[in-house]
Amino acid sequence: MVYQARWLSFGFILLGAAYGLLIAQDQYQPHITAVDRQIDKDIIGVPQSFDCHITWDVVEHKDGRWIPSKTKHFKHFQIQCFEEETLFDMKEKTAQESYSCQFEKLKPSVQYRFAVLGITGSQDTVRSEVAEVVTGHLSATGAEPKIQWYHRLPILSGRTPLQLVGREKFYDRATEAGKIAFWLIWWFFLAGILICTQCWRYMRMSQIFPMDRSLGIGHGYDAIYQRNRSKGFQRILDEWKQIIALANKKVRDHLAGRESLQSLEVEGAGAKFWQDCGADTMNDLIKRIDEYKGYPTTKIFRSGMQNHEINGFHWMKVSEEVDRAIENRASSELDKIRRKSFVDWLWNLGTFAPMIGLFGTATGISSAFGNLERLSTDTEQMQMVQELAGGIYEALWTTIEGLAVGFLLMLIFHYYQNKLNWIYSKWEEIFVDLTERL
């Protein structure tokens, strides 16, 4: 009986010790107090990576609440870092004395979860709550932050231009309509940049005219054209001039010394020359100019050559027909360049950007007056003025950005518009020099 009582007492002692350990384990827990971020940005302010500095304390459950504990209950701590919701891509670090740890070179726009495990001398572990971070945004466990697509492509965010000039706070404080205005204006600017690449692609000198060198060097379009134009293409045009001059000479020689001329005699003289050698020579020039196919200039003057070859027998009407063919083809090629380059969209975007900026300013000022109306009646006058002035100051930034983008796009539009005008005038200069001899 005494022997059984001893074993029973020993069992109660073991149960009490286990219960005491369990109570002690539940009473102490690591608690994450801060997640500080150091963001590494590139030259335009886009995040490339960031470091997270985790700080925690040990709290004790006492009198129904958690309070900071001054006792050293845990032997060391193990800090875990999970990438998004996966459990496989995990980083771990161990801290002995300090209550802080740092994870370096984390990826931006990715959700990370941090947890601190307190390990006692008996290797029991107590887990802290989980802290979540997404490139500068900290949230509590259970609040699943939605990672927007523009967090992964910050260049598309309407906040980017203000961040580049250190005024991102105006975007953060803007109304929803104001943020939409910032987004639209920035997208107009990015669309304008894409259109500029199209304009450069289809309007560069080496794309319009056959040139021996694609790199244009010179002061002004005329100097660049004269310096780099294709000598082979120019020889073809010169030989065309020679054919025209020779045809005129043959007609004049045939009719020289006659007192009266009939239109049929003039037509006959021109037709004879064209039948003897003119048509064959022109056909040879058409074959040679095909070596430069693909250029709008080549297509224009090839159409004139084809028309000249067909209508060369009608010496008195050939000039009118060649002029018509070249002018129609030149207008067609110019319209094609406009369509491919989207140059007219620069005008549209540059016109609407300031209007959207004014829309954002109007909504921002309306919101500022609404906030002023909600102030209490005992608010000091200076505070009311500061509240109103601050709201208007922030709202005006949409107009500032809209005007800046509009001015820039309009300048680019007029630059390419002047280039198109020069291209057409150069075509006119070349074919007038040719057809005035017909």
Q: Which token pair is 399?
A: 């107009």
Is residue 343 domain-resident? yes
Task: Classify the phi-psi angles of 300: left when phi > 0, otherwise alpha if psi is within -120 to 50, otherwise beta.
Answer: alpha
pLDDT score recorded for residue 327: 92
pLDDT of 142 > 50? The answer is no
Is residue 6 domain-resident? no
Beta bridge partners of 54: 35, 101
Residues 144 and 195 in one domain: no
Return the exposure string of 158-179: e unless at least 16 CB atoms fall within 10 Å of the residue's CB, then b.
Answer: bbbbbbeeeebebbebbbebbb
On average, the pLDDT of the chain sits at 79
Residues 121 and 145 in one domain: yes
Residues 393 and 266 in one domain: yes
Tell me what the mean pLDDT of segment 323-352 comes to: 94
Residue 185 or 310, more confident: 185
Residues 232 and 309 in one domain: yes
Is residue 123 domain-resident? yes
Residues 165 and 226 in one domain: yes
The sign of the CA dihedral 279, 285, 288, 292 is: negative
- CA neighbor of 230 nearest in space, from 171, 186, 277, 295: 295
Each residue of 1-55: pLDDT tens digit?
A: 544 555 455 454 445 544 444 444 457 788 888 888 888 776 555 677 888 888 8
Of the residues 93, 123, 150, the one at which a domain ends = 150
Is residue 186 domain-resident? yes
Q: Give the list of residues 6+ apart from residue 222 with CB closer than 8 angstroms, or none.
A: 426
Residue 286 or 319, more confident: 286
pLDDT of 391 > 80? The answer is no
Domain count, the chain: 2
CA distance 409 to 190: 10
CA distance 243 to 237: 10
Each residue of 247-290: pLDDT tens digit?
A: 777 767 766 656 555 555 556 666 677 777 777 888 898 999 99
Tell me what the mean pLDDT of segment 162-179 comes to: 83
CA distance 181 to 187: 10
Residues 145 and 188 in one domain: no
Residues 128 and 219 in one domain: no
CA distance 227 to 216: 8
Cβ–Cβ < 8 Å for 52, 106: yes
Q: CA of 414: how far to CAs of 237, 246, 407, in Å?
A: 32, 43, 11
Strands (E), 128-220: 131-134, 137-139
Domain with residue 74: its CATH number is 2.60.40.10
pLDDT score recorded for residue 19: 45
Percent of the chain past pLDDT 90, that is, above it, reads 27
| Residue for token pair 């039948």 | 275
pLDDT score recorded for residue 23: 45
pLDDT of 146 > 90? The answer is no
Cβ–Cβ < 8 Å for 47, 40: yes
pLDDT score recorded for residue 9: 52
CA distance 18 to 14: 6
CA distance 253 to 375: 100
Of the residues 133, 150, 167, the one at which a domain ends = 150
When pLDDT is cut at 50, 70 and 90, the band that residue 357 belongs to is very high
Is residue 191 domain-resident? yes
Is residue 304 domain-resident? yes
* CB-count burial class (<10 Å; 0-12, 13-18, 19+) for 77: buried
Residues 179 and 300 in one domain: yes
Residues 145 and 168 in one domain: no
Q: CA of 335: how far to CAs of 328, 330, 340, 416, in Å?
A: 11, 9, 9, 14
Residues 128 and 167 in one domain: no
Is residue 60 domain-resident? yes
pLDDT of 373 > 80? The answer is no
Task: Please give the model's pTM, rounded to 2 decimal places.
Answer: 0.64
Residues 141 and 191 in one domain: no
Q: Is 19 helix (H, G, I), strand (E, B) or coil?
A: helix
Is residue 301 domain-resident? yes
When pLDDT is cut at 50, 70 and 90, the band that residue 144 belongs to is very low
- CA neighbor of 415 nearest in space, from 184, 209, 200, 172: 200
Number of other residues whose CB lies within 10 A of the CB of residue 23: 10
Tell me what the mean pLDDT of segment 294-302 comes to: 93
CA distance 166 to 365: 22
Residues 139 and 185 in one domain: no
CA distance 142 to 131: 10
CA distance 376 to 385: 14
Tell me what the mean pLDDT of segment 371-386 comes to: 74
DSSP 30: E
pLDDT score recorded for residue 127: 73
Of the residues 88, 119, 150, the one at which a domain ends = 150
Each residue of 201-218: pLDDT tens digit?
A: 999 998 999 988 876 666
Q: Print the domain residue range for 53.
A: 30-150
End-to-end Cα distance, the chain = 139
